[in-house]
Structure 1
């Protein structure tokens, strides 16, 4: 058995199949942990999500911000943008089935035997692992509810909930968790989330902002944290407890696969269209 973790796929289906072919991925015995943002930007989101769903228990995805946005688009809470290239997926005959599968996926996965945890964007430094699991599970339950669109999705589009407090009402806790686990890049000095800057740390001129992983973290003291979301990092972080796997395939760069057992990285360059 081999365990692989893969960065943001974002509809890059051909590259996904190519990189799995490189390692002779066998879903009957191997596992594929997927760091979220399975859809959008690339031109084959429909094929991507169908394939991942077909892997059944060998696929271990978490949800990213683009995956959650797909739920809003399907629920007619938002209008799709041409740049997301989601028309084929939204018009597919099996879209309802795919969306129902998608919303059953969690925001956080913890490896059953290794001290490894995976979310899309990271874990805020204010949280220990128990808090992260508890808050992610609350979002998971909300998404599994038949009323997930009104209970969560319609309210999640806000930058106002950028700070954490134990005393927050339950709805605000849900939204903060979504913001932190699927959108986080920089934090202000007081720990509040910043939603505007997407630059790599070496190019950021605002010295009031620091990458979330430059703050002291209880989670990284005990766990390896696998995340994606921040393509501008191109996998470069200065902490051995972090595995940053988004390497911008949908932007013309490459997919990255981390083989847990050998601690090796495998890459697949964006393929040219024929």
Structure 2
């Protein structure tokens, strides 16, 4: 059995099919880890969801910002954006099945035996791994609760922009979600800067990439993430594996085999 972690697919079906063929994925014995943003912006979100859902028993996934956005739009808590490519997916006869599957998704996937943790965007420097796991579980429970509508209706926004243990309710859920699904740059204390989407070297004054802080509490944990296309898969930090290689922007779709950290990729047109 092999386990492969794949970066942001974002509705790019042909590169996904190419990548599965290249790694000779066998759904009878292999597993996929998907680092979020399964859908949106690419040309065939419906095709991607149908392919992945057919083997969902072999998949561990975390939710990305585009996946949460789809749920908010599909359930009537947000209007579709101009760049969205979700219409065909939302009109499909099996859309409800996909929504139920995504609602079982995680914000953080951790395998203590393998020693890897997967998130979509990152883990802020002030949280250790156990705190991150606990806070991810809080929001995952909300996705399965009577608070779902309230959560989806209020998850957008850049404030609070820093963690505080005293936060409650929607504000608490929002900042947890922003760390796990939107973060790129932050301070050592975890103050978020959510507007800049540049390369790591072009951090705004006073901020660094979340993984670049010397005092980061997860420095000894192996963390897989996506989300940051401008990195093009290069975090250049020990124990940090960036898998978003900008497929939807004409880059490539990348998978890493966890056994030996070998990378595989397929170009995206």
Please report how far the alpha carbon of residue 146 of structure 1 lies from its aligned counterpart in structure 2 after TM superposition: 4.2
Q: Is 1:10 equivalent to 2:1 in the alignment?
A: no
Match of 2:194 in 1: 195
d(CA) in 1 for partners of 2:260, 2:167 = 42
Match of 2:256 in 1: 258
TM-aligned CA distance change 1:34 to 1:126, over 3 Å: same
Matches within 5 A, 1:165-184: 165-184=164-183
Give the structure-1-normalised TM-score: 0.94
d(CA) in 2 for partners of 1:88, 1:33 = 25
Task: Report if aligned partners of 2:126, 2:189 keep a CA contact under 8 Å in 1.
Answer: no
Deviation track 1:219-243 (CA, whole Å, cap 9, x = no partner) reads 222x100000000000111212100
**SS at structure 1 position matched to 2:219:** helix
d(CA) in 2 for partners of 1:113, 1:57 = 19
d(CA) in 2 for partners of 1:87, 1:170 = 31
Please report how far the alpha carbon of residue 189 of structure 1 lies from its aligned counterpart in structure 2 after TM superposition: 5.7
Match of 1:227 in 2: 225
Match of 1:157 in 2: 156
d(CA) in 1 for partners of 2:147, 2:205 = 42
Question: Deviating runs (4+, > 3 A) in structure 1?
Answer: none
Unaligned runs of 5+ in 1: none
TM-aligned CA distance change 1:242 to 1:97, over 3 Å: same
TM-aligned CA distance change 1:112 to 1:189, over 3 Å: closer
Task: Report if aligned partners of 1:135, 1:173 keep a CA contact under 8 Å in 2.
Answer: no
d(CA) in 1 for partners of 2:159, 2:259 = 41
d(CA) in 2 for partners of 1:144, 1:172 = 18
Deviation track 1:64-93 (CA, whole Å, cap 9, x = no partner) reads 000000011001121112422111001111
Deviation track 1:133-179 (CA, whole Å, cap 9, x = no partner) reads 111001011001144112x1111011111111112124322111100
What value does the CA root-mean-square deviation take over the aligned residues? Answer: 1.3
Unaligned runs of 5+ in 2: none
Match of 1:19 in 2: 19
**SS at structure 1 position matched to 2:83:** helix
Give the structure-2-normalised TM-score: 0.96
d(CA) in 2 for partners of 1:91, 1:256 = 29
**SS at structure 2 position matched to 1:142:** helix
